Amino acid sequence: MKAALNAYKVIATIVGCLLIVLVVIGVPLEFLSADGSGAKSAGNFLTEYVGIAHGWLYMVYLVTTFVLSRRARWDVPFTLVTLICGTIPFASFWAELRAIRHTQAKHPEPVSA
């Protein structure tokens, strides 16, 4: 359970940060900057490679979250909201905090770790 929670924390943070880089930096750079400018090619690079990395890491996030949801016995709506929030910039961090609190409230540490 603890391992699953820690794995969830790590992957959720990575995916959340990548998503922000992709949506808040990469996409505006690609679509708002002038053709042929350095900013445009930087945006292209970000959306290409961060986009690919984020897509695959999101799959890892899905599986990790699902494993945790079963170990921690989240109900189905809670699990779905957590999974979906992983795709929304910034909301992913809120969902991560919510999921950690929910899990710890349901399964308090037996003794101080």
Partner 1 sequence: MSTSSPAPALRPWSRRLWGAHAAMVVVVAAAIALGLWQYGVSQQHKVDQIAKLAHATPRPLTDVMGGNDAFPGDHLGRPVVVTGRWLGQGTVYVSGHTHDGQHGYWVATPLRVDGTASAIYVVRGWSADPATAPAAPGGAARLVGWLEPGQQADSTDTPDLSPTSTGSATQAHGPAVVSSLDMAALIDEVDVDLFSAYVVGADHQADWPASASPVNDGSRGLVDVAAPALPKADATTGLRNFLYAIEWWLFAVFGLYVWWRYVRDVTRVTEDAPREDDEGAPEGDAQEDAVRSDA
Interface residues with partner 1 (CB under 8 A) are 1, 47-48, 51-52, 55-56, 58-59, 62-63, 66, 70-71, 73, 76, 106-107, 110
| Number of C-beta neighbours around residue 41 at 10 A | 14
What is the closest distance, in whole angstroms, from the C-beta atom of residue 37 to partner 1 in the complex?
A: 21
What is the closest distance, in whole angstroms, from the C-beta atom of residue 98 to partner 1 in the complex?
A: 19
What is the closest distance, in whole angstroms, from the C-beta atom of residue 64 to partner 1 in the complex?
A: 12
- Please state, in angstroms and rounded to a whole number, the distance separating the CA atoms of residues 15 and 60: 9
For partner 1, give the closer residue by CB, 55 or 89.
55
For partner 1, give the closer residue by CB, 34 or 76.
76
For partner 1, give the closer residue by CB, 66 or 93.
66
Q: How many residues does the chain have?
A: 113
Residue type at position 71: R
| Residue whose C-alpha is closest to residue 24's, from 73, 90, 70 | 90
- Please state, in angstroms and rounded to a whole number, the distance separating the CA atoms of residues 106 and 38: 50
For partner 1, give the closer residue by CB, 1 or 10.
1
